[in-house]
Amino acid sequence: MLNVIQLMDDEGLGHCKRMVNFSHKLQSEASDILLVVNRLRRDQIKILKNKKINYLEYDPKFDIKEIYSLVINDQPVKSIKSWSIDTKLNCVKEVQFFREKGLYTRLFDNTTSSRLIVDENVYPTPLFDKNDLDWSNYKGKVLGGWEHVLLGAELEKLKEINPSNDRKNCVISFGGSDPQNITLKVLKILMPLAEKIPIIAILGPKYKNKQTILKLNKITGNKIKVISDRDNIDSYLASAKLLITAVGLTIIEAIFLKVPCICISSYKSDDRDLEKLKKMKNIHVFGHYKKLSGDSGRISDIVIEVFSL
């Protein structure tokens, strides 16, 4: 029996990375998996290749019937048991199609009306609260919280071998694309401190302002360590005395590692999660990135305090 996992065209790499971890979980249960991915998402495909995940590329112009036929033709001797989709996008048409085929359907991290017609909803985050959404008349499974967070085995090992007193870096990471260019904004705030603390800026594969970052770094005498287009940043997260990041998989990984964080939101839709993050220990929530210019002094103060400058 085959378990199919579909990635849609959501921003960033968090969806892909946690579905790699979900794939490993299914494989540990002796289940066959196939991950289907938009052929234009070379950033995701690179990760799948490096992780040796069984995957199939589809044309973004394909409708769900064509994607389904592609899978059937690729795996003619296997019956499909389940179809999982990790997306924040509305995918009612896709789910209805799979249900008509008699497949077990599963959504990850979805808050649209799609969630009410699948067999199972998974929210792989410690911020999960079932009461945040209306589940009236829904009869499927709703799973979430730390028990269902999809962390990689490498990260779990790093927690054991990297004691907090060995951590020394200020790490900046805003995902695979950082569409709001928050990395640059944060680096400009931290420039006066570049001589005093080790700063690591992690740039995702779809980040479009790398040259601007490199030019800024020259002003500091290249004191900032710029990491670009890495599939796995676990070791950098585990080395962080302080992480500056957005709402997403990275901050969940940091919470797991017990790394203090400054959280800057990329989207207005993050507001609910921000309120929950405010209640957590060592998480400094700054809200929406557009307010960042007025908060520069507070960010500097937190960095100075954490690094005892």
Tens of pLDDT, residue by residue over 41-72, are 999 999 999 999 999 999 999 999 999 999 99
Pairing label, strands 141-144, 199-203:
unpaired
For residue 163, pLDDT beyond 70 = no
Q: Which pLDDT score, from 0 to 100, does residue 154 have?
A: 86
Residue burial 192-214, b: 16+ Cβ < 10 Å; e: rest: ebbeebebbbbbbbbbeebeebe
Q: Which pLDDT score, from 0 to 100, does residue 255 have?
A: 95
What CA–CA distance (Å, rounded) separates 2 from 101? Answer: 14
Q: Which pLDDT score, from 0 to 100, does residue 92 have?
A: 96
What CA–CA distance (Å, rounded) separates 118 from 107? Answer: 7
Closest CA to 162 of 249, 244, 237: 237
Q: What percent of the chain has pLDDT over 70?
A: 99
Q: Which pLDDT score, from 0 to 100, does residue 30 have?
A: 76
For residue 164, pLDDT beyond 70 = no
CB distance 122 to 143 below 8 Å:
yes
| pTM summary value | 0.91
Q: Look up residue 106 and give its two tokens.
A: 């599963």
- Phi and psi at residue 56, to the nearest 5°: -140, 130
Q: Which pLDDT score, from 0 to 100, does residue 131 have?
A: 94
DSSP symbols for the chain: -EEEEEE-S-SSSHHHHHHHHHHHHHHHTT-EEEEEEETT-HHHHHHHHHTT--EEEE-TT--HHHHHHHHHHHSTT--EEEEEEE-SS--HHHHHHHHHTT-EEEEES--SGGGGGSSEEEE-STT--GGGS--TT--SEEEESGGG----HHHHHHHHH--GGG--EEEEE-TTT-TT-HHHHHHHHHGGGTTTS-EEEEE-TT-S-HHHHHHHHHHTTS-SEEEES-S--HHHHHTEEEEEE-SSHHHHHHHHHT--EEEEESSGGGHHHHHHHTTSTTEEEEEEGGGGGGGHHHHHHHHHHHTT-
For residue 294, pLDDT beyond 90 = no
Mean pLDDT to the nearest integer, 153-162 = 80
pLDDT in tens, 209-264: 999 999 999 988 999 999 998 888 999 999 999 999 999 999 999 999 999 999 99
pLDDT in tens, 111-151: 999 999 999 999 999 999 999 999 999 999 999 999 999 99
What CA–CA distance (Å, rounded) separates 105 from 285? Answer: 35
